[in-house]
Amino acid sequence: KEKHKILHQLLQNSTSPVDL
Amino acid sequence: PEAADLRALARHLYEAYLKYFPLTKAKARAILSGKTGDSAPFVIHDMKSLMEGEQFINCRQMPIQEHQQQTSALTAAHGVELRFFHSCQSRSAEAVREVTEFAKSIPGFVDLDLNDQVTLLKYGVIEVLIIMMAPLMNKDGTLISYGQIFMTREFLKSLRKPFCQMMEPKFEFSVKFNTLELDDSDMALFLAVIILSGDRPGLLNVKPIEQLQETVLHSLELQLKLNHPDSLQLFAKLLQKMTDLRQIVTDHVHLIQLLKKTEVDMCLHPLLQEIMKDLY
């Protein structure tokens, strides 16, 4: 999970985009 | 009723595509053929026009102050290529987010094992981004920065090594791919097929992915028959492109890994780093 932290966040975060 | 379901799926994916991807093929082709009235793109064809055009690049992604700091940090010798490469990375990271949202809109995708969703994106996203470049390209250059800029192929070829080698394979692929004349509604289905590839390394539960892909493949086949009745074997030709695509991605990732080793000042965007780590 740690290896793909941002991808996990992008997949689970349905409203606000992760700060890229 | 089955055909009606397949048509509904095609419509749904097309709507999601329009929702998440800001620059459609229809719009890109209008810009490239000069059919947008007075809003012609700014052309970058040499270092001078690159400097002039830089204000367009990244204006959507980065606060000005941060951009200036990064810019000044990269003004050493050879800085131009690295700075431009940095802008490309920011846009790519944003595009990964768009593709993720599109993937989530594929019926059944979010019900897959979360680790498999990650694997499908990790392996599929660069393939999707390369396919999405094709509508922005012609034999002479490519639109960048949401269609505001046209960068010539000759200029990209004139950059120092290995930067000059990065885009040429994508041009060669795109020029051939564009002869298939897909439109945005065909593209939406094709992108979903790519994302739902059941042979990605490390997938935990392949069967539901293959089942989803099969439905989308049927929808794509029907779509192409209806939308391109005179284009023989278009479905088969399109599926063959997926093989070429994997080779392009493998070469691209190797080139980035080479850059990471040879360019002292290069920093890779954390999201792209995550995707490319242990990829091929």
β-pair partners for B150: B43, B143
Residues B34-65 pLDDT 10s: 988 767 999 999 999 998 888 776 555 444 44
Dihedral Cα B1, B4, B6, B11, nearest 10 deg: -160
* Residue B165 in tokens: 């080698």
What is the per-residue pLDDT for B74?
Answer: 47
Predicted complex ipTM exceeds 0.90: no
Mutate to test the interface with A, among B58, B96, B100, B102 (most CBs of A within 10 A): B100
What is the per-residue pLDDT for B1?
Answer: 59
Cross-chain residue pair B114–A7, CB shorter than 8 Å: no
User: Of the candidates B123, B169, B83, which has an alpha carbon nearest to the alpha carbon of residue B274?
Assistant: B123
What is the per-residue pLDDT for B84?
Answer: 84
Rounded to an integer, what distance in angstroms lies between the CA atom of residue B257 and that of residue B246? Answer: 17
pLDDT(A18) > 60: no
Mean pLDDT, contiguous 10-residue spans, chain B (280 residues): 93 98 96 86 94 72 46 54 86 96 98 97 98 98 94 96 93 98 98 98 98 98 98 97 95 91 86 92
Rounded to an integer, what distance in angstroms lies between the CA atom of residue B264 and that of residue B106? Answer: 40
Count the Cβ atoms, other than its own, within 10 Å of residue B277: 13
What is the per-residue pLDDT for A15?
Answer: 46
What is the per-residue pLDDT for B52?
Answer: 87
What is the per-residue pLDDT for B51?
Answer: 86
| Minimum CA–CA partner of B116 in chain A | A8
User: Of the candidates B207, B81, B226, B246, which has an alpha carbon nearest to the alpha carbon of residue B155?
Assistant: B81
**Alpha carbon B129 to chain centroid, angstroms:** 2
What is the per-residue pLDDT for B65?
Answer: 43
Cross-chain residue pair A20–B104, CB shorter than 8 Å: no
What is the per-residue pLDDT for B70?
Answer: 52
Query: 1-20 in A: which are within 8 Å (CB) of B?
Result: 3-8, 10-12, 14, 17-18, 20
Is the CB of residue B273 less than 8 Å from the CB of residue A20?
no
What is the per-residue pLDDT for B106?
Answer: 98
Residues B111-151 pLDDT 10s: 999 999 999 999 999 999 999 999 999 999 999 999 999 99
